Amino acid sequence: MGALSGLRIADFSRVLAGPYATMLLADMGAEVIKVERPNVGDDTRTWGPPYDASGAATYFQSVNRNKQGITADLSTVEGRAKAFKLISTCDVLVENFAPGTMDKFGFSYQELVKEFPGLIYCSISGFGTSEQARELPGYDLLVQAMSGLMSITGSDSEHPTKVGVALVDVVAGLHASLGIVAALNHRNATGAGQKIEINLLSSALSAMVNQSGAFAGAEVTPRALGNAHPSISPYEVYPTQDAQIVIAVGNDVQFAKFASVIGFTLAEDPRFATNPERVNNRALLNSHLLPLLAAKGVGEWTSELTAVGVPAGPINTIAQAVNLAEELGLNPIVDIVDPRSGSKSRTIANPITFSATPVEYRLGPPTLGAND
């Protein structure tokens, strides 16, 4: 029995934020029924290459395991009736249509709560539900730009850069899943459901933590620093004899150890002895560190620094990262045989480990209308 066994979710979401949230809940035992457009399905079914061995787009496969799949054309009376019947049997509804779309189909929270007062209704949007927000399409890249995330990512302020994955969608999905679990706890205590609203812009601002917090708390507008950290030094990427290494010195004790290992003799110099001074003198500090780090390769430095408790390591490819996780016994990849079709899929494992209610991998991603 999973932690959420017995929970039933009507999943009207598509692309990433909503499907990621519902997949996490499905891994924990919830029964998730994904609703897609007939003959078309989720947009990400066509977002390829790459494709897996079965010919399915790996984008879709990565966020839709453990789900049943049905089709319903909400623009038709028959489709809406099918969807309503599903909702009537569910504890949770998740949707990420453009604001107002579910209202148009008669599935607004205000309408459904009259029939189902215990329903938890989670709505995910790009920028909220105001009139101005409704005009903005909620795509991750757009939100990365408009949230300021791209302004702090990249080599410098002249080269704003997106994160290499749709991070805002993922963060919004995490917020959605947490909100749903919190609402379930409230319902268990009161019997009443509620509406949860998640938007990508607010999720991005929250996820930028110290960077957005610098503006909120000190009216400082952060800027892109490449791989450097605005408040810690040395905490960035450095070249070595053969490859680049990440050095992540978090405090003065670690810095003293770091300096000892690499042979930096100015660790007690007032310009470098404390972290604030190292940040103020970052360029000067790096001018001393670069020739010292060039004396050995990334493997040697990683071993020597790790041995004394200084965080350091290579910049891995995803393939190397998966291999590392396997070496550490984390079992990063799961093979699933779908009992509906016998098809096989490989997926990155859910990262949460429960001692009593382990996550489950019951179903592969559904083919379009697999459970119609």
**Per-residue pLDDT tens digits for 201-219:** 999 999 999 999 999 999 9
User: Do 54 and 136 reside in the same domain of the chain?
Assistant: yes
CA 188 – CA 180 distance, rounded (Å): 12
Mean pLDDT of the chain: 97
Q: Which of the four pLDDT bands, split at 50, 70 and 90, describes residue 138?
A: confident
CA 371 – CA 86 distance, rounded (Å): 12
User: Do 55 and 84 reside in the same domain of the chain?
Assistant: yes
User: Do 26 and 168 reside in the same domain of the chain?
Assistant: yes
**Per-residue pLDDT tens digits for 287-330:** 999 999 999 999 999 999 999 999 999 999 999 999 999 999 99
pLDDT for the residue 1: 84
How many domains does the chain fold into? 2
Q: Is residue 224 part of a domain?
A: no
Q: Is residue 225 part of a domain?
A: no
User: Do 34 and 159 reside in the same domain of the chain?
Assistant: yes
φ/ψ of residue 311, rounded to 5: -60, 120
pLDDT for the residue 135: 86
* Secondary structure of residue 235 in the 3-state scheme: strand
Q: Which of the four pLDDT bands, split at 50, 70 and 90, describes residue 340?
A: very high
Q: Is residue 216 part of a domain?
A: no
Query: What does the block give as tokens for 115?
Result: 């029939």
Range of the domain at 315: 235-321
Q: Is residue 367 part of a domain?
A: no
User: Do 242 and 290 reside in the same domain of the chain?
Assistant: yes
φ/ψ of residue 121, rounded to 5: -115, 110
Is 352 a residue whose pLDDT tops 90? yes
User: Do 171 and 243 reside in the same domain of the chain?
Assistant: no
User: Do 68 and 96 reside in the same domain of the chain?
Assistant: yes
User: Do 17 and 86 reside in the same domain of the chain?
Assistant: yes
CATH number of 100's domain: 3.40.50.10540
Distances (CA, A) of 135 to 98, 100, 128, 166, 173: 9, 11, 10, 21, 22
Q: What percent of the chain has pLDDT over 90?
A: 97
Q: Which of 42, 52, 91, 169 is catalytic?
A: 169
The stretch 191-197 carries a mean pLDDT of 98
pLDDT for the residue 349: 97
User: Do 258 and 203 reside in the same domain of the chain?
Assistant: no
pLDDT for the residue 290: 98
pLDDT for the residue 44: 97
User: Do 279 and 131 reside in the same domain of the chain?
Assistant: no
* Secondary structure of residue 346 in the 3-state scheme: strand
* Secondary structure of residue 304 in the 3-state scheme: helix
Distances (CA, A) of 36 to 90, 170, 205, 225, 366: 17, 20, 30, 42, 11
Whether 338 is catalytic is no
* Secondary structure of residue 68 in the 3-state scheme: strand
Q: Which of the four pLDDT bands, split at 50, 70 and 90, describes residue 229?
A: very high
The stretch 33-40 carries a mean pLDDT of 97
